Every structure is written in structure tokens, then in C-alpha cells.
Amino acid sequence: MAAVVTPGQALASSAQGSAAARRLRVLHLEGNEADRALAASHLLRAGLWPEVLRVDSEAAYVEALKSGDWDVVLSDFDLPGLTGLRAQQILKDSGKDVPFILVSGEIGEDTAVAALRNGASDYLLKSNLARLAPAIEHAIAARRDRLARQHADGELAVSRRRLSELAQHLQNSVERERAAIAREIHDDVGGSLTAIQFDLAWIGRHVESPAVQQRVATALEMLTHALEASQRIMHNLRPAILEQGLVAALQWMASRHEKREGLTCRFRTNRETMQLPPGVPLVAYRFAQEALTNVSKHARATRVTIDLSLSRGVLSLEVSDNGHGLDRADLDKANSFGLRGLHERASTVGGWVDVSSSASGTVLMLSVPVPGAGLAPGELDDDSDPSAWGPP
């Protein structure tokens, strides 16, 4: 049986005409009409404007949930053929986020706890209906807060995703731009310098004057510097060494770092070659590059170790130094983007970065799950460009 009772029918209360009264759509699962009226009168007295639909069977309850838009469900605990807990489960299964309050003649502690655990907003005894209006208002406010939080969380997730997409896009653009500049240096600058080198060598061979020969020799020396510089710049822009594989590239990076910076730089790996998915080698290479740059810039270390391993489907690259370490404030520096960029880069290939530090040094670790990698050569796309970013 279902009965709609509006405040006009329920009570000619002073609250009826009050502008302050707030409309409240109540679905009341209750076998006794007098109990429904009592609850409604308490709500009216509290300044609410209840529109109550009373139902007393599972079928009517399910139908009312389906067709109505409710602010709150009040439920007696023991109705013939339907318990409060079952009513609560039906509400849950309906997917509607409506506060559920148990209102019962008597209710055991165990039952009340079970109801609250199952998501009931509150429970109260029919002998204490003065608490009904505050309980409803509290439950509705909690629901409003929950929805607002869900909405804010949703917005935050969208904004994080967009930011991450933007960062990926920027990194892809930077790498593309770097590759294009490297190509231009190679084709235009490198080509012209090599041509000048030939010409100067030719002049040097054909000129008699020792003074001119001396000038040519000096010019050739300068030219050799310029060619080396352009090769170095080209390499930094686009590490061609990666075409020989990540292991070779990191080995080369370690020995170059050792020579340049005058500190001990060790490279260790558990494999001589690695078959890695497209994009991963460049992310790993840039990670090691930034980590070593940081060691030179900040750590005051005398030793740095690069450990590369591939096992159980995870690529790990660890760069550890024996410098003075870093702290939280270092990681939060407003104008420092190296480590932040590494997190973003790692995420482009499904990986992540961990930083740990103590007074005896800093460890930076990149982990990238690479299912299937490291199997027999040829099982992955061998034609893929190892210096490319991951899938677009």
C-alpha cells in the first residue's frame, strides 16, 4: 500500500505557510499510518515541508524508488516480509545516492551497527523522534558534501589528465624539434664545415708561402673544434648512440661523464642487450642524462653508479651518488623542472620514478614495466626507432 501525504493533509501547522519551510521528499517505509503522521508532524515542527510517500511492501518500495526523486528514505526495521537491512540493500542496488535512516520501535545495537556499516546515514527510535529532523538535515548535508567532493575529485582528475597530456605533447614536440635541429646541423652546418675543411686542406697543399700555410693550419685546427662541437651538440639533441641499444648508450654516457667531470662513474647491467618497446630507451636515456647532470650540478659527489637491469618484466634504471643528498624542499623548488619532467616522461611509457636520499647520497630510480621485453630478439618490433617517444 502506498499513500502520499502532503503537509496540508498531515498538519495544519504554522510552518505550512512559512517561507522558511523547506520542501522535503520523503519515502517512508512504514506499516503504521499513525507512525507516519507522527514523523511528518515532527518534521513540520522543525520547519521542514515534507511530502511523504508511505509504502509498506517491497514491491511498492521498489516501484517508488524507481519512479521518484527522493531526499531521504526512512525505514521501519521490521515490516511484514521486508527488513530494514533488506530495504537498505535494495536502495544500494538501485544505484541511487539517497540517505537512508532507520526509524524503529526498538533496534538492537548489533543491527544498528550492521546498518551503519552497510551505509545507513543514521538510526533512531520512534520514542525519540525529536532527533528525526536534525538527523535528516545532517544526512542530506553529508550527501551534498559527498557529491561536491566527488564532483571536485572528478574535475581534478580531468585537469590532471589534461596537464599530463599537455606535458607529453610538449615533450614529444621538444624531441621532434631537437631531432629536426640535429638533422639541420648535420646536413647544413656539418656538410659546409666538411667542405671548407677539404678546401683549406687543398689550399694548404698548393700554397708555397709558409705564413699562409701556418694560417691554413690554424684555420684547420679551429675547424676541427667546430666540427667536434657540432657533433657534440647534435648528439645531445638526438642521441644517435641509442641506435646501438640502451646498454651501449649508457655505457658510453658513463665513460664520457667520468672523463668530463673527473669523478668515478660506474655502469653495471645484468644484460648485454635488451629488446625494449619503442619509446622506452629514450625515456631511460634522458632519465640517466638528467640524473647525471644533477649529480654534477648539485651533489658534490666523488662517485656515481648507474645500474640497469631487466628482470621479471620490469626495466629498472638506478643512478646513485655519494653526495650530500637532497630533502623535500629541494624537490619542491619552484623553478626546478628536471625531476618533475622525469616523472612525466616515465609516465609516457607507463613507468614511474622514485627518489630516495640520505646524508650519504641520492638514489634516483626509474621503473618501467615492459611485459614481453628481454625475450628472444625479434619478438618485439625490431624496426622501431629506439630514440622515438612512445606511442603517440
Ligand X SMILES: Nc1ncnc2c1ncn2[C@@H]1O[C@H](COP(=O)(O)OP(=O)(O)OP(=O)(O)O)[C@@H](O)[C@H]1O
* Grid coordinates given for 223: 675547424
Which of ligand X, Mg ion, none does residue 275 bind to, with CB < 5 to 8 Å depending on kind?
none
Q: What's the min distance (Å) between Cβ of 168 and ligand X?
A: 18
Q: What's the min distance (Å) between Cβ of 337 and ligand X?
A: 4
Does 369 engage in binding with Mg ion (CB under 5 A)? no
Contact residue for Mg ion among 88, 121, 171, 294 (CB under 5 A): 294
In contact, 364 and 319? CB cutoff 8 Å: yes
d(CA 61, CA 96): 13
Nearest to 56 by CA among 75, 34, 72: 75
* Grid coordinates given for 175: 624531441
Which of ligand X, Mg ion, none does residue 337 bind to, with CB < 5 to 8 Å depending on kind?
ligand X
**Where does the chain have alpha helices with state H?**
7-10, 33-45, 58-67, 84-94, 109-117, 132-184, 191-206, 210-237, 246-261, 280-294, 328-331, 338-348
Which of ligand X, Mg ion, none does residue 103 bind to, with CB < 5 to 8 Å depending on kind?
none
Does 204 engage in binding with Mg ion (CB under 5 A)? no
DSSP 295: I
In contact, 273 and 317? CB cutoff 8 Å: no
| Binding segment toward Mg ion, per CB under 5 A, in 178-186, 265-273, 288-296, 359-367 | 288-296
Nearer to Mg ion, 338 or 369 (CB): 338
d(CA 116, CA 168): 45
Which of ligand X, Mg ion, none does residue 51 bind to, with CB < 5 to 8 Å depending on kind?
none
Within 10 angstroms of residue 145's Cβ, the number of other Cβ atoms is: 10
Within 10 angstroms of residue 62's Cβ, the number of other Cβ atoms is: 16
Nearer to ligand X, 9 or 358 (CB): 358
Nearer to ligand X, 277 or 323 (CB): 323
d(CA 200, CA 97): 83
| Binding segment toward Mg ion, per CB under 5 A, in 58-66, 244-252, 275-283, 332-340 | 332-340
Residue nearest to ligand X (CB): 338
Nearer to Mg ion, 42 or 286 (CB): 286
Q: What's the min distance (Å) between Cβ of 136 and Mg ion?
A: 56
| Binding segment toward Mg ion, per CB under 5 A, in 63-71, 127-135, 179-187, 338-346 | 338-346
Residues that bind ligand X (CB under 6 A): 294-295, 297-299, 321, 323, 325-326, 330, 333, 336-339, 362
The footprint of Mg ion (CB under 5 A) covers 294, 338
